[in-house]
Structure 1
Amino acid sequence: MLIRELTADHIYLACGHTDMRKSIDGLAALVVSRFHLDPHQPALFLFCGRRKDRIKGLLWDETGFLLLYKRLEDGK
């Protein structure tokens, strides 16, 4: 995989918890239904799990969606 510089014009954080079993398509659907935004814009959408120790990010670049996943140590 070729890593290149990624940029986002905006960062959106979903309030509340999100089902972390959702994949790219499920998170993109949440962006449309919850934020009423286009998931194909240059923005980073962040979703937090129920236990608040996992974060998923959805980012569109010119070639497709990038799904980021972060597990926080010590739950913070």
Structure 2
Amino acid sequence: MIGLPTSAPIDLCTQAVDFRKGFDGLTGIITTSMNQRVADGSLFLFVNRRQDRIKALWWETGGRTLWYQRP
């Protein structure tokens, strides 16, 4: 179970993302393309080109957490 605060903002990256990217690559997209800070408490969602997979990146105390969902 994901323990996100109920007030956590959710930001969706609307452009397709290369899913070979990990923590550092997705953090780069957040800071450059989305003009956000990873550690601001938001949940960041990314989709692949076919829009059949999703990755979620969230900062929690102690570091970043990455979730990946695929059918």
TM-score (norm 2): 0.89
Please report how far the alpha carbon of residue 5 of structure 1 lies from its aligned counterpart in structure 2 after TM superposition: 2.5
Take 1:4 and 1:33, find their aligned partners in 2: how far apart are those partners?
A: 27
Distance in 1 separating the partners of 2:2 and 2:44: 19
Structure 1 unaligned spans of 5+: none
Bigger radius of gyration among the two: 1
Other structure's SS at 1:9 match: coil
1:51 Cα offset (Å): 1.2
1:31 maps to 30
Relative to 1, partners in 2 of residues 1:64 and 1:48: Cα closer, same or farther, differing over 3 Å? Answer: same
Residue of structure 2 equivalent to 1:55: 54
**In structure 2, what is the equivalent of residue 67 of structure 1?**
66
| Percent of matched pairs sharing the same residue | 36
TM-score (normalizing by structure 1): 0.83
Deviations 1:36-75 (A, max 9, x none): 111111110000001111100000001100001011x3xx
Residue 16 of structure 2 aligns with which residue? 17
Where does residue 3 of structure 2 map in the other structure? 5
Hey, what's the Cα distance between the residues in 1 that align with 2:48 and 2:2?
A: 28
Aligned partners of 1:58, 1:16: CA distance in 2, in Å? 16
Q: Distance in 1 between matches of 2:50 and 2:26?
A: 18
Aligned length: 70
Cα distance in structure 2, aligned partners of 1:16 and 1:36: 14
